[in-house]
Chain A
Amino acid sequence: MLELVGVTAGYRGRPVVSEVSVAVPRGSWLAIIGPNGAGKSTLLKSIAGLVPHSGSVLLDGRPVQQLSARERAQVMGYSPQTPLLPEGLSVTAYALLGRTPHLGTLAREGPRDLAVVEQVLARLDLSSMARRLLRTLSGGERQRAVLARVLAQQTGILLLDEPTTGLDIGHAQALLELVDRLRTEDGTTVVTTLHDLTLAGQYADRLLLLDRGSVVASGDSASVLNASVLAQHYDARLSVIEGPDGSPVVVPQRHPPK
């Protein structure tokens, strides 16, 4: 179980996220939602140990802060909102970078690492592109390549910052389905930030709504995706209706024309 207790994080002493506490059971999916600038990415980065923070992040009861950077990278995989892709690398070479935490500082990858990468690429349907250069990939393929890099880390926890950025509805859906499959098959714990509230409600077990760095709502999609709560914190006109499968759908409403 991944547990956050009173996590406060920020840059240059100015807190961006304050006093966040939440528990994420093994194999479940937590979606961090909230308006722009609410501190979603900062919270995710503090879980990954990339931003200095106070409070504690516990993994099965043990504080993650006690782990070295390498040990942490063996239990948590992180992908940023806009990953920097070394364009001249092949998909395989890029995914192999995910093996870094399992190698000595100056060591090279062995056949085992290659086998892991091969398996991950097959799973993400990237095998046919293994030798292609990153610069030749489409947006959806790039996002999958990034996911392959993170999966090659073989961690029990995935921290994905807006994994659907720039993807159309079909590709976004396919990527989230893929993450969901990994979660159910391997029991991976998933924490993502997501800006699409309807998708967040469909895939995550639990939503955490942040506004100005504080948790303002937390719980399952039915309780968090509440029209008046969302309207207040996003400063938007919207309604929440019931989709065909019973899941909440967040619909924006246009100002009535004069």
Chain B
Amino acid sequence: MALILLVLAAFSSLLLGVSDLGYARVLQEIWAQLTGGVSPLSSREAAILWYLRAPRVVLAALVGGALAISGAAFQGVFRNPLADPYLLGAAAGAGLGATIIVVTAPTWSIALPLAAFAGALGGVGLSWALSQSAGRSTATLLLAGVAVASFLTAVQTFVQQANIDTIQRVYSWMLGGLNTTGWREVLLTLPYITVTSVVLWLCARLLDVLAVGDEEAASLGIRPARVRFLVLGAASLATAAAVSVGGLIGFVGIVVPHIVRLLAGASYRVVLPLSLLGGATFLIVADEIARTVLAPAELPIGVITAFTGAPFFLLVLRMNRTR
């Protein structure tokens, strides 16, 4: 079911754009590529399809899936429904990394995602290191995350204000957007997101065990601290990869897992894979809207995720109450 929705969303997104390719011809083209048949599209149309639209759809799926599965994992580790993948300084770190590059090397296009990636991992790493020296509990880790996030945001704001002319570029990056240059962004993030999603999915049962509390989990023979380290590491890596190419897209990591929980139950064995699919579908649709409502101008995708996600979430909440 979730898979069908994902395929439909991806296909409809392939169709939308300034030049109309027609759904029958797009289907024929996909069929031709699969079977080695004759393409019905002109070479210009094929380029639009395969080098402009397809990478963007795949990237939206990757980023959305990564953010949603990481959000679900964070909620499991912290046993807190408000946890999201940006909780431990990933967003602030990525923001700082991106701002520094916008200020210092604005024309070096590959540097921006790399700096955001490094910044996100740096932020989470810093939170982890601080919490290890100060008590090792999850509460300490949360507080360390809050402190690191505020600190990095302060530094980022300082750098940005000191270079006020770059503010527009910094902001548009922060609001999120999926600008692709061919398949490069997909290739940059695919390995990280694939590996971490598999790791998280394998840890699903352990996250269920963590839900009974550290003491009981330990009495069942697992080591809660190790599971947390593994899950947070994988989720942070996925988040960093997503942020590096998508900017700070909010809302996906927190709302998609909750919608999945409301519809399909609370076991992480269900929540993690469905969040991955749901997040992918959600972001493809959000990106479609972002590209089309003000076409040819583009809205920041973060605006769309909140604008459409919030009402949808409330609707699911209501449905669940009356059921």
Q: Across the interface, do B222 and A69 meet the contact criterion of CB distance under 8 Å?
A: yes
Q: Across the interface, do B209 and A89 meet the contact criterion of CB distance under 8 Å?
A: no
Interface assignment of B265: CB less than 8 Å from any CB of chain A = yes
Q: How distant is the Cα of A101 from the Cα of B212 in the complex, in angstroms?
A: 15
Interface assignment of A105: CB less than 8 Å from any CB of chain B = yes
Contacts A84-B211, A93-B208, A97-B209 given; does A73 touch B267 at CB 8 Å: no
Contacts A93-B267, A106-B203 given; does A73 touch B216 at CB 8 Å: no
Closest to A135 in B: B266
Q: How distant is the Cα of A216 from the Cα of B211 in the complex, in angstroms?
A: 38
Minimum distance in angstroms from A101 CB to a CB of chain B: 4
B interface bracket (residues with beta carbon within 8 Å of A): 20 to 34
Against A, the Cβ 8 Å flags (1 = close, 0 = not) of B210-251 are 011101101111110000000000000000000000000000
Q: How distant is the Cα of A85 from the Cα of B158 in the complex, in angstroms?
A: 45
Minimum distance in angstroms from B25 CB to a CB of chain A: 44
Q: Across the interface, do A83 and B213 meet the contact criterion of CB distance under 8 Å?
A: yes
Q: Across the interface, do B203 and A97 meet the contact criterion of CB distance under 8 Å?
A: no
Interface assignment of A50: CB less than 8 Å from any CB of chain B = yes
Q: Across the interface, do B202 and A106 meet the contact criterion of CB distance under 8 Å?
A: yes
Minimum distance in angstroms from B100 CB to a CB of chain A: 38
Interface assignment of A26: CB less than 8 Å from any CB of chain B = no
Residue tally, chain A, CB below 8 Å to B: 38
- Segment from A74-82, A171-179, A230-238, A241-249 that makes contact with B: A74-82
Interface assignment of A72: CB less than 8 Å from any CB of chain B = yes
Q: How distant is the Cα of A176 from the Cα of B48 in the complex, in angstroms?
A: 72
Q: How distant is the Cα of A183 from the Cα of B76 in the complex, in angstroms?
A: 36
Q: How distant is the Cα of A237 from the Cα of B219 in the complex, in angstroms?
A: 38
Q: Across the interface, do A84 and B218 meet the contact criterion of CB distance under 8 Å?
A: no
Partner of B216, one of A70, A78, A89, A106: A78
Closest to A82 in B: B213
Contacts A84-B213, A106-B202 given; does A73 touch B219 at CB 8 Å: yes
Interface assignment of A87: CB less than 8 Å from any CB of chain B = yes
Minimum distance in angstroms from B202 CB to a CB of chain A: 4
Q: How distant is the Cα of A126 from the Cα of B24 in the complex, in angstroms?
A: 55
Q: How distant is the Cα of A100 from the Cα of B223 in the complex, in angstroms?
A: 12
Which residues of chain B in 251-269 are interfacial with respect to chain A, using CB atoms and an 8 Å cutoff? 261, 265-267, 269
Q: Which of B215, B221, B266, B267 has the largest count of A CB atoms less than 10 A from its CB?
A: B221
Interface assignment of A98: CB less than 8 Å from any CB of chain B = yes
Minimum distance in angstroms from B49 CB to a CB of chain A: 39
Contacts A88-B261, A88-B266, A106-B202 given; does A77 touch B208 at CB 8 Å: no
Q: Which residues of B contact A214 (CB under 8 A)?
A: none
Interface assignment of B136: CB less than 8 Å from any CB of chain A = no
Against A, the Cβ 8 Å flags (1 = close, 0 = not) of B178-217 are 0000000000000000000000001101101101110110
Q: Which residues of B contact A109 (CB under 8 A)?
A: 205
Minimum distance in angstroms from B135 CB to a CB of chain A: 12
Q: Across the interface, do B221 and A45 meet the contact criterion of CB distance under 8 Å?
A: no
Q: Across the interface, do B212 and A84 meet the contact criterion of CB distance under 8 Å?
A: yes
Q: How distant is the Cα of A83 from the Cα of B206 in the complex, in angstroms?
A: 17
Q: How distant is the Cα of A161 from the Cα of B303 in the complex, in angstroms?
A: 51
Q: Across the interface, do B202 and A86 meet the contact criterion of CB distance under 8 Å?
A: no
Q: How distant is the Cα of A89 from the Cα of B221 in the complex, in angstroms?
A: 20
Interface assignment of A108: CB less than 8 Å from any CB of chain B = yes
Q: Across the interface, do A108 and B220 meet the contact criterion of CB distance under 8 Å?
A: no
Q: Across the interface, do A69 and B216 meet the contact criterion of CB distance under 8 Å?
A: no
Contacts A77-B219, A79-B216 given; does A89 touch B203 at CB 8 Å: no
Partner of B222, one of A48, A50, A98, A100: A100
Contacts A85-B212, A86-B208, A86-B212 given; does A97 touch B266 at CB 8 Å: no
Q: Which residues of B contact A48 (CB under 8 A)?
A: 219
Minimum distance in angstroms from A206 CB to a CB of chain B: 23
Q: Which residues of A contact B220 (CB under 8 A)?
A: 73, 97-98, 100-101, 153
A-B contact pairs, 15 of them (CB 8 A): A50-B218, A50-B219, A73-B221, A74-B221, A77-B219, A79-B216, A80-B215, A84-B212, A89-B266, A90-B265, A94-B212, A97-B220, A105-B222, A107-B205, A109-B205
With A49-B218, A107-B205 known, 6 other A-B pairs at CB within 8 A are A76-B219, A78-B216, A84-B213, A97-B220, A100-B205, A100-B222
